[in-house]
Structure 1
Amino acid sequence: MNEITFTLAEYNLAGCSNVDIATALVTSKPMLILLHGWQDNAATFASLWPRLIQDYDVVAFDWPGHGKSDHKSADNYYHFFDYIDDLHQVIVQLKREKVHIIGHSLGAIVAGCYAAIFPENVDKIVLIEGLSPLTEPPHMIVERLRMGIVSRQRYRHQHLRLKQRSMATFTDALTLRASVNRLPVSLLEAVVQRATIERDGRWYWRHDPRLRCDSLYRMAQQHAQTLLNSIQAPVLSIIGDNGYVDLRKTEASDWGINNFTQVMVSGGHHCHLQSSNDVYRHIRTFIPT
């Protein structure tokens, strides 16, 4: 996979691909767009890349504020709906008639919303440990706004200290991330390599600390359900046997999605790292070449 850059209207997104996106060359292979989760990066799919590139044209990129992508400007924050806009700008640049989207966690939620909004651009979607947008009852709107504003104020008071946080070695960063995700360090090395940078003998996280600010808004269940009901593309849901229990709804009618299949593999929320062979096998069956 080669390093690539997508130039969007407001910032640049870094990524990886096995095709030259600059030439807009169309091959006979299906195109997969890989979308990572919150505070991960494109390398969360690194264990799948050697298999996927044999059968598909593959593009994986870092969301803004993640990995090697630009941070948003100082007067902006990270709104869920903006990720959908970012994805649309990427897909328009690829100039493919239709693409397949594979998303993990946040990336899975974005993939589902995008497929609902732009069905003409999407063939199939694979949602790994993620499905519906996060929802709250309408009566939570006041508390949600308060939490969001307070978290921004907290960030403004702490941003200099947050930017100065560092670790003595790469191993320290890797060990910390493995502890947070409760995964072996061997599964996270590629992710942490892309998530850190070395300066003057110290290791720093690349991600924007504003990613930790609380949302100002979450959808009501009716809004999320309308989006799910509008997905026309076939959906493959991949969940871990130790993942989020709320995702275990095997029937299409349970989610209100027209064409829905769910499979379970070994692992937790990052089951695509823990069971990459099985995840690849399910993708290959679902998206034949």
Structure 2
Amino acid sequence: MGLSSELKLAVPWGHIAAKAWGSLQGPPVLCLHGWLDNANSFDRLIPLLQKDFHYVAMDFGGHGLSSHYSPGLPYYHQNFVSEIQRVVAALKWTRFSLMGHSFGGTVGGMFSCTFPEMVDKLILLDSTPFFLDSNEMESILTYKRRAIENTLQVEASQKPSSVVSPQEMLQGFLKNNSHVGEECGEILLQRGTTQVATGLVLNRDRRISWVKHSFDFISMELFAHSIRRLQAHILLIKARQGYYDVRRENDADKAPLLFMLDTMRATLKERFQFVEVPGNHYAHMSEPHCVASITSSLRSKGRVPARLQLWAQAVEASCSHLSAANKRGGGDGPRWS
């Protein structure tokens, strides 16, 4: 399934860039990339998915080829949620599915709870519908203060974008993104950089480089209340070597994740499915065949297939075989009848 077209959707501060695959007449799926990534995040996955769907992967504002926000306008989590509404309104979609990786899944989760009647299915790729923070009440004012201070510091610095060689750009990118392999890093940088006379510059807005500026952290009570609003079916695909908490020092604390899983199981019942796949946080890029096999739930009408866990076990066995075959210089991805 080749790329159908590049899109530019008008917004008050410029445009939202996106890329589309598949049939215009097919069921629509909006794909949301992770923090500081771009729409190329889905380049290896979407060609492996069902071809009779219409997939659109957008660049969030300040990312990829999308316009930066106007000077003085901050990048808050709610802004990214509203960008989804702007995009689907421009596309004239009234009901659709969302597929989001990491930060994109969290933005998609907030949208799905805010506009529950619009979202049919929500597929989360090593992500959760919200970022849960057990210390949210103690920390929230600190987060808000630091976000404001960081924005003002970036605006005041007026520091020009660094120009580096392609190799330096890639090495710096990989150093700051330990879960991204070299091939996947090159794919993301194709859309995330611009060639100038003396090298490459990053496209993304420097104001989004501080993580707590772009994420909202919510309490357990607000999470439970929000999940009750969902009408969508949810498929959460967790990478075994992935992570959820953007503050890396807390990655080992699984209590928030377990609370979210238990809450979604109890609240959504058959509308929630959880599957683990081999790979790291970028499994949808590095192991796309594994993830593609699981996301066949897009085709189902109603609930996610009951055989999903069995499929996941077969996928893991097949992917292990695939990885071994690739090391020997060959091998195909898992096939399903």
- Does the 8 Å CA contact 2:170/2:185 hold for their aligned counterparts? yes
Give the counterpart letter for 2:6 in structure 1: E
Matched residues in 1 for 2:193 and 2:139: separation? 36
Matched residues in 2 for 1:128 and 1:15: separation? 19
Matched residues in 2 for 1:215 and 1:66: separation? 14
Structure 1 residues 29-178: aligned runs within 5 Å: 29-52=26-49, 54-134=51-131, 135=133, 136-158=135-157, 160-161=158-159, 163-168=160-165, 170-178=166-174
Shift of 1:148: 2.1
Q: Is 2:194 the counterpart of 1:197?
A: yes
Q: Which moved more, 1:246-255 or 1:218-227?
A: 246-255
Equivalence for 2:273: 261
Q: Is 2:7 the counterpart of 1:8?
A: no
- Does the 8 Å CA contact 1:266/1:274 hold for their aligned counterparts? no
Q: Is 2:294 the counterpart of 1:282?
A: yes
Matched residues in 1 for 2:223 and 2:99: separation? 19
Q: Is 2:175 the counterpart of 1:179?
A: yes
Shift of 1:19: 6.0
Q: Is 2:213 the counterpart of 1:215?
A: yes
Shift of 1:15: 0.8
**5+ residue gaps, structure 2:** 244-250, 302-337
Equivalence for 1:17: 20
Q: Which moved more, 1:232-241 or 1:243-252?
A: 243-252
Matched residues in 1 for 2:267 and 2:11: separation? 31
Shift of 1:286: 4.2
Matched residues in 2 for 1:248 and 1:142: separation? 23
Shift of 1:257: 4.3
Equivalence for 2:326: none
Please report the TM-score for the alignment, with normalisation by the length of structure 2.
0.76
Matched residues in 2 for 1:191 and 1:86: separation? 21
Shift of 1:53: 6.2
Q: Is 2:232 the counterpart of 1:233?
A: yes
Cα 1:253/1:18, change in 2 over 3 Å: same
Matched residues in 1 for 2:130 and 2:259: separation? 18
Shift of 1:96: 3.1
- Does the 8 Å CA contact 1:7/1:13 hold for their aligned counterparts? yes
Cα 1:85/1:67, change in 2 over 3 Å: same
Give the counterpart letter for 2:103 in structure 1: L
Please report the TM-score for the alignment, with normalisation by the length of structure 1.
0.88
C-alpha root-mean-square deviation of aligned residues, in Å?
Answer: 2.4
Equivalence for 1:23: none
Matched residues in 2 for 1:117 and 1:253: separation? 21
Give the counterpart letter for 1:167 in structure 2: V
- Does the 8 Å CA contact 1:98/1:120 hold for their aligned counterparts? yes
Matched residues in 1 for 2:94 and 2:151: separation? 40
